[in-house]
Amino acid sequence: MKHEKWEAICSRCGLCCHEKVVLDDMVVIDPDKACEFYDEDTKSCRVYEDRFSYCDRCRKINLKMAMFSPILPPTCSYVRWAEQKGLRFAKKRELVLGNLD
């Protein structure tokens, strides 16, 4: 798939730019703890083109992640895309928004 088409799948929900942890059958994401480069107003990354050099924790969302990553929330457009194609193999987990302090 072309880069632009792949990028367009993202709904820009911003959930993957927040602190998160996988606990059994849940993905817990802290809505109050975003990456320092995440802009809450525009719901986008302030350094998107160079994000991997700015942020060690930033991960490219590729096909492998869409298929296998436990850390992507079930609402992520890539997870849904992979499910629709029969390509999602990670355990189904519930999204829980909570404080991770």
Q: Which is nearer to ligand SF4, 76 or 90 (CB)?
A: 76
Could you give the CA distance from residue 100 to residue 7 in angstroms, rounded to a whole number?
Answer: 29
- Build a one-symbol-per-residue string for 8-37: x at contacts with ligand SF4 by CB under 6 A, - elsewhere: --xxxxxxxx-----------------x-x
The amino acid at residue 93 is R
Q: CB of 35: closest distance to ligand SF4 in angstroms?
A: 3
Q: CB of 99: closest distance to ligand SF4 in angstroms?
A: 19
Q: Is 42 in the site for ligand SF4 (CB under 6 A)?
A: no
